[in-house]
Structure 1
Amino acid sequence: MVKRKAEKQQAAAPMSAVAARKARQQQAQNQTPKNDADVEIVTEPPSKKPRRSVEAIEAKDNTSGPETRGPRTRSSKKQDAAVSTETAKGHQRRTTRSKKLESPQPDPQSQDESEKEESNKHQVDGPEDMTEDEVASVAGEADGYESPADTSTEIQNFPLSKVRLGKSNIVYTDESNLCVSIKEKMNMALLGQYDLWVKRGVISLMGAKLHPSKKSYRVYAPSTHSLPVIKCVAGVDGEAEVELKSCNNGLARLRDISPLYQKIWNGQNSAADKVTLKGAAKDSRRSYSVLYTSADDPLKRHLRPLHLDKKWSASMKALSQRQGSLRVLVCGPKASGKSTFSRYLLNHVLSPAPETENGYINTDGVAFLDLDPGQPEFAPMGQVYLAHLKAPFFGPPFTHPSLDGSRDGQIVRAHYIGATSPKEDPDHYATATMDLLEQYRSLLARYPQCPLIVNYPGWIFGQGLEVATWLVGCLGLSDVVYMSEKGPYEVVEPLSLAANKARVPMTILPSQPTEFVSRSSAQLRSMQIQSYFHQSHPAALGNPLWSDTPLSRTRPIAVKYAGEKQGIAGIMVMGSQINPEMIREVIEGAIVAVVEVNSPDALWGVSSSAQRQSGSDDHDDFEEDGDVEMDSDQPIEQTASSTEDLGVRSPENLPYLFAGSGSCTPLDPKTSNCLGLALVRSVNVGSQNLELSTPIISSRISDALEQGRSIVLVRGPLDNPNWAISEEYHAARAAERRYQQLVSRSKKNGDDQAENQATQKHTLSLLRERIRRASNVPWMTVVEDHSRQQREAAARREKSLWKLRKKAYPGSESETDW
């Protein structure tokens, strides 16, 4: 006790200020690591700062609209650029929605060092690599069921292929082709684009069973969707033999005009590719890559194989046994897998089997009634349509955005809703659906054994449920498929009662959504409509082609909108009351539907008001017939038109069709048909021409006018074509990148001579001048950010994915999928 008391007194003895400071420093140095760790990991309370989405952060930083991060403007290895392509109306809508979306902030310490190095490496690679800001450029258009999330810690190594390529199963191989044998119950997954030819045995692919034939099938397997799996179902001596061939259709080059198309196809050769390309040139690359696991992907993306639930497979098999009497309605909540099930069922019914057990062969094709205007399968957004298909399709919707000129199918009839949801105008939606049902009945007169698949949207509450139950009662269905085992009860019960009343069996299947995706629904819609405008169907080829030329560099079609020979009967605007003086601002730079009208009754209130003004019931003056020339140098014209009586004229003399107080009544679906979409490039007041860019085959418009039908342009409340505004900028950046790579290769080869340096410098200055001009356009702002913090944040967010959530009904957690 005495000793301890002495020690305490000695410790309390006075010391100099220097000695005291050294003692404190020594004590702090010994205790800091442990205390810091404790505070950081255990004792520090969670941050109370509200979590915001990437879109919300961008909206705050740039009051003129969200930013789209683009390629670097001066040197693709050192700088970042941002492109904003948002109008004032779109910005207000995005800003409002961004306040509702919440997402966790990415934690810089959640990535290990290897992931950071990989992210930085991808960012330095050039404009071909997309930053998360580019992915989030249209985040404001996503619905409330999606939000961006940092999922770097959740990305796992998933097995993709059971087949391991080697001498035992490689039949032959070269720089383009790869022929392999697959044993029964074995599968193989590929990333990219390829032509598939079944030489021996039977394989399954995206719901279809493919038998040996002379026909090859084009397969699109981007990283935006789960990868399709090639599986051997039956084989000769227990093996099937398939040939894979590279294809070059231009779709991959769309990455040069849109960041949404970047990093979605195969990158560098995988381990399996190196085995099959032995003996080929060093720089040999196919348009596809065989992957054993998701870790084989050089870009380390979130890849998953697409395996169907056993109940899905059993249901498809049972439904296909109904053969020509199949009439099935597929419905369910949002993000439950309705489109995937419909696509796989379609392929399954269209499987070109030589003969089934009962001798039935499907020669009449399949009718596909797509009632989902937000995510249509074979048409751009905003439409409902009836398609007659004769062959399976392998790929997501943006790989077949239209069927014009396709040998595998055609659009029988389409109606422009003008919105991504039927709830904008339920009456018009129901009327359009009734007309499509009449078209299907007419189709049955020519193809009596043509099954029907109806894809219904996720609009299953309120009026949507009423329309669904009405369809069950009037379609003459054979089956109803509901894509959710979790209800809700208030939806399932009315559907079950309607099915029982119509004596139609109802099947309830588990929803099978993809939890994480690399593109939101709005981004996929932008990709689909951009693909639509850049696609063509050459008559001599069985597969479509795509062009990476920006729309601003293509020759528009000139259409007369006034005068003695005008090419359009009028212009309509759906969903809003527009002053005639503002009609030019509304349609210029907007996407419109090109609708053919075969009767003045299609204009409903417009035609009746015109009759009252003219005092005549004669409709002959509405019919037009004249010569039509689709050459871009000659405007489209038609004769004998009195459309001045069908509405009002704007100050630019534009024929604005309206009814009542200024709102446009939708066209009558019974006497109208949507031919496709067009982009209004400009309104030339001097020549009274509309300059349009459209992928519609010119003969369709010519035939419509020659048959006395009228052409009406309809503007709906769809998203503005921001992708079209920034195409030239991204194309200019891609041209600069390609030239810099060419100069770099010439230096490595020793071709960097003094006389070439001046030429190279001049060419680079011209390319950068093109970039400068492309960045100086309306509704787009290029913002450069050279900071290291911004580059690291972009690389960190590059791994972010969209996390899908679905609710069975507002306020319910019974159908939430995290």
Structure 2
Amino acid sequence: MKRKAGDQPVLAVSAIAARRRAQQNATVSARSSVSKPISASEGEPPLKRSKPSLADDLPSYPAVKSKIEVVIRNPKRQSNRSQSTIAASIEEQTRSTDDDKSGILVEDDGGVTSSESSDEIEVSGRENYENFLLSKGAISNKDVLYKTNDTICIRLREKTTITVLGQYDLWIKRGVVSIFGAKLPPSTQIYRVYAPSTHSLPVIKTVAGVDGYAEIEISSCRNGLPYLRHVSDLYRRIWSGKQASSGNSLTTSSGRSFSIVKNQNFLHSSSEDPFKRHLRPLHFDKQWSMAIKALSSRGAQLRVMTCGPKGSGKSTFNKYLVNHLLSQIPPQNDKASSSDGVAYIDLDPGQPEFSPPGEVYLAHLRRPVLGPSFSHPVLVSPDDGSIVKSHHIGATSPKYDPNHYVLCVMDLLNRYRVLLQSYPLCPVVINYPGWIFGQGLEIATWFIRSLDLSDVVYMSVQGPEEVIFPLREAASEAGVPVTALPSQPTEYATRSSAQLRSMQVLSYFHVLQNDANIPFWSDLPIQHHRTMSVSYSGENPGIFGIMVTGFHHEPDRLQDLLDGSLVGVVAVEDSDALPKSSDTATATVDTHHHKYAANRSDPDQDAPMNDADSAIASSSPHPLITQVPHTNLPYLFIGSGTCHPLDPASSYSLGLALVRSIDIQSQTIHLITPIPPKSLHSALARGHRIILVRGNLDNPNWALSEQYFAARAAQRKVRERRAEVKAESDDSELLREYEDKIRRSAERSDEGRAVDDRGQAGSEEAKAEKREVMEGNETWTGWRV
């Protein structure tokens, strides 16, 4: 029986398995009955024989449920070659899962549901699954000192290692424990650890104990980060979850935010994960450990730059080194003091550690970093550290404007020298991007010669020779030793670089900064976030100008370039630093040329409108700023051809913003940004001018799909609650009352989440404080929060 063309296709696993069995039975029948006539289709040559379709359904052979997750996006495009490849790769799995009735495991609000609720399920098979030993030594019941619904306190023997999945607060009560390169002594300090499955899991190890034991307490934390799965599938199935079956349960019914298996034993191996993810512990090569100890011994004299190919482990090595420097017990020979912190200069705009993509910055770190980059897109607490200065590159690679990139790096080095005046024992770690070929190699060798480094670390022992030889030659000229370490690429990466970048910027826009200096994430779709209305014309505009860098463009299309895009919010310390004479004539001629071309292409525009535009342009606040026709947007153009970026010596970046809309009638731009209002007010109060920079950052596709994922999450939640009510009672009247209650609760939630452009959210005291700030300083009138 064949399916019609309009019917839905069956699972590829079921169809292939059924077809294979049918062919095997047909072969056995042919051998046992030689006199059986051969059909016409069997007598055809192999190339002309009609091949069975994936949609064939053989009712005599039941479908086999498999633990392999399959995506069928367009069955008509599945080639015969791909069919044979899939069949060969899953043959062993289909035989071993005949009696399996569990289906596909998909995390859903901390639980496991059917795969039918997910639109995108990736192909994953056991043939690519590798089991990693996550913990060394079992934790018995007598090692558990006490436990609650959210907390567990255990004793660890010396040299015992455990690995915990999820997010948790770690308190060292006795002994010394190491995690991610940081050696943590007993204290009242709480360390928050983020351990998702997208990265290698940090290992907790007892370094020294009292009577051979260390005592630690692990507690659940609720900060909203796991709930970002409600607005993006990139955050699904990366934290701890619970399995509905009674097997090796990762969590108890208490719903801890970290993963503990049955009988209080921690994850012993990755095979105990019910989702069969590629969990792997964070283990370092012995050469890495020796190099980190040698570098740490330099103390305050350490000025190291780490470079290497993409995906070689530069960020992991730098994080391990920073944690080791921040937790030296005691400081070695008084060469460095953890109280002075560590300076971290991140020169990788594609994968930054403490900022959104498109930025290079100088950070002053005070506490160990125990999580991936999307767990700290900004430094919220001053106790953790702060961003000393940041520059907006406007792209994920410095290759688009190497000259501006070099100027930004030199300015950050100058700011580090200023930082040394207040913290003389502060070492610096420099993270160079994976751009080490061509012009990127030339810039790296120039940095080695001119930055007065103490060490250079190259994350590869396999070359290539055309890269390592110029680096060693430049280091030899500068008298700087070069250490080549083996790279540790991830073989089972579950997220690509572009996906991790999307997770980083999504986390950046959803993080909430509060007076308690504790990061918290909101799972509201981006369109429900607070909007800032900024005037761009009038007596006191909030925006001095708008720049477009990195590509050629037409100024009359400025509104189209801005609407729905990511822009950098840059503050200029002194508007007089902008060029006035050398490039003004060229910029004016080019601008009027574009305006003239726009006027000729618009038959509805008449001469009086041109006169008005000329009057507006002549009254602009700066010779390089002209108003775009129709919109009056302040267009800032420097140089010729493409627009030159701002001078890093007189400007700095405040962060990113998403342009929600442009209101031409009121001459305002509506921005969504996590930049604290006090930061904007501080910049304006000092007389700094705000400029929006439109660069070459990735399109915010994540923002367009958040409402869709939020609606799916709400539907799943309603179905779960309805199922719970049905399981508890069959009373239809009670069910209707419960559904009405859910509906009213959802309506109240929508009313609370629907924040208008005036920012009517938060307490009355907070809103009164914001009004006082806006009314107390005239320079703040251009911004309405």
Quickly name the TM-score band, shorter chain normalised: 0.7 to 0.9
The residue identity in structure 2 corresponding to 1:176 is: D
Using a 3 Å threshold, how does the CA distance of structure 1 residues 680 and 644 change in structure 2: closer, same or farther? farther
Quick one: structure 1 residues 152 and 503, their matched pair in 2 at CA, closer, same or farther if it must change by over 3 Å?
same
Which residue identity lines up with residue 202 of structure 2 in the other structure?
Answer: P
- Superposed CA deviations along residues 354-381 of structure 1, whole A, max 9, x for unmatched, are 5546685322111000000110111111
Aligned twin of 2:505 = 529
Q: Cα 1:327–1:660, aligned 2, differ >3 Å: closer, same or farther?
A: closer
1:104 touches 1:150 (CA, 8 Å); kept in 2?
Answer: no
Q: Can you list the C-alpha shifts for 1:712-732, whole angstroms capped at 9, x where unaligned? A: 001111111111111111111
Q: Secondary structure at the match of 2:135?
A: coil
Q: Could you tell me how far 1:269 is from its partner in structure 2?
A: 6.6
Greater Cα shift, 573-582 or 241-250: 573-582
For residue 200 of structure 2, the aligned residue among 218, 226, 242 is: 226
Separation (CA, whole Å) in 1 of partners of 2:546 and 2:350: 23
Aligned counterpart, 1:574: 549
Q: CA-to-partner distance for each residue in 1:533-564, whole Å, 9 max, x for gaps? A: 011232224x3111111111123010001112
Q: Look up the equivalent residue of 2:313 and give its one-letter code.
A: G
* 1:318-717 equivalences in 2 (<5 Å): 318-351=294-327, 353-356=329-332, 361-541=337-517, 543-600=518-575, 602-604=577-579, 608-609=583-584, 642-643=621-622, 646-660=625-639, 663-717=642-696
Matched, 1:109 2:90: yes
Question: Which AA in structure 2 matches 1:539?
Answer: D
Question: What pairs up with 1:749-768 in 2 under 5 angstroms?
Answer: 749-750=728-729, 752-754=731-733, 756-757=735-736, 760=739
**1:288 equivalent among 245, 249, 258:** 258
The more displaced of 392-401 and 559-568 is 559-568
Unaligned runs of 5+ in 2: 1-25, 35-44, 48-69, 74-81, 260-265, 590-618, 751-785
Q: Map 1:50-449 to 2 at 5 A.
A: 106-107=86-87, 109-110=90-91, 112-113=93-94, 120-122=104-106, 125=112, 133=120, 152-268=126-242, 283-289=253-259, 290-351=266-327, 353-356=329-332, 361-449=337-425
Q: Distance in 2 between matches of 1:27 and 1:167?
A: 59
1-structure distance, mates of 2:448, 2:27: 80
- Return the offset for 1:275: 9.6
Q: Which amino acid aligns with 2:254?
A: S
Residues 366 and 388, structure 1, Cα contact 8 Å, conserved in 2: yes
Query: Contact 1:172 / 1:180 at 8 angstroms: preserved in 2?
Result: yes
Q: 1:236 to 1:679 in 2, by over 3 A?
A: same
Q: Higher relative CO (CA 8 A, sep ≥ 6), structure 1 or 2?
A: 1
Paired residue type of 1:698: P
More deviation in 249-258 or 345-354?
345-354
What's the secondary structure of 1:288's corresponding residue?
A: coil
Structure 1 unaligned segments of length 5 or more: list them. 1-23, 33-42, 46-78, 83-101, 136-148, 615-639, 772-818
**Alpha-carbon distance in 1 for matches of 2:137, 2:177:** 14
Distance 2:231 2:501 in 1: 16
* 8 Å Cα contact 1:583-1:650 kept in structure 2: no
RMSD: 3.6
Give the conservation status (yes or no) of the 8 Å contact 2:662–2:668.
yes
Change beyond 3 A, Cα 1:606–1:251: farther
- Name the structure 2 match of 1:6: none
Instruction: Count the aligned residue pairs.
Output: 643
Distance 1:575 1:690, change over 3 A: same
Which secondary structure state, in structure 2, belongs to the residue aligned with residue 740 of structure 1? helix
1:327, 1:478 within 8 Å by CA — same for their partners in 2?
Answer: yes
CA, structure 1 residues 720+252, in 2 after alignment: closer, same or farther (shift >3 Å)? same
Q: Structure 1 residues 225 and 27 mapped into 2: Cα distance closer, same or farther (>3 Å)?
A: closer
460-469 vs 121-130, which moves further = 121-130
Query: Which one-letter code corresponds to 2:258 in the other structure?
Result: Y
Pair 718,384 (structure 1): closer, same or farther in 2 beyond 3 Å: same
Supply the AA of the counterpart residue of 1:679. L
Question: Separation in 2 of the partners of 1:572 and 1:25?
Answer: 72
Q: 1:354 to 1:686 in 2, by over 3 A?
A: same
Q: Which amino acid aligns with 1:299?
A: F
Q: Percent identity?
A: 48
Residue 30 (str. 1) matches residue 29 (str. 2): no
Q: Helix, strand or coil for the counterpart of 2:449?
A: helix
Letter in 2 for 1:654: L
Aligned equivalents of 2:703, 2:681: Cα separation in 1:
26
The alignment partner of 2:163 has SS state of strand
Cα deviation for residue 167 of structure 1 reads 2.2
Measured in 1, the distance between the counterparts of 2:499 and 2:587 equals 46
Deviation at 1:522, TM superposition (A): 0.5
Measure, in 2, the Cα distance between the counterparts of 1:271 and 1:313. 41
TM-score by length of 2: 0.76
Determine the C-alpha separation between the residues in 1 that align with 2:696 and 2:737: 51
